Amino acid sequence: MQFRISPKKIALFLLAAVCLLLALALLLLTYGEWRVSKTGRFTFDNLADVPYNKVALVLGTSKYLVGGGHNPYFMNRINAATELYNNGKVDYILVSGDNATVQYNEPRLMRRALIKAGIPASAIYMDFAGFRTLDSVVRAREVFGQASYTVVSQKFHNERAIFIAHRFGIKAIGYNARDVEPEEGIKTRTREIFARFMSLLDLYVLSKEPKFLGKPIEIGAPQPCSPLSTLGTLQPCLAQSATTTP
In this prediction, residue 246 has a pLDDT band, given cuts at 50, 70 and 90, of very low
Backbone dihedral region for residue 41 (phi beyond 0: left; psi -120 to 50: alpha; all else: beta): alpha
The amino acid occupying position 56 is A
Q: Classify the C-alpha dihedral 107-70-114-57 as positive or negative.
A: negative
pLDDT value for 17:
82
In this prediction, residue 133 has a pLDDT band, given cuts at 50, 70 and 90, of very high
CB 114 within 8 A of CB 121: no
In this prediction, residue 7 has a pLDDT band, given cuts at 50, 70 and 90, of confident
For 168, the 3-state DSSP assignment is coil
- Indicate yes or no: pTM above 0.85: no
Percent of the chain with pLDDT over 70: 87
> Where is pLDDT greater, at 240 or 158?
158
When mean pLDDT is compared over 4-18, 24-38, 45-59, 219-233, the highest value belongs to: 45-59
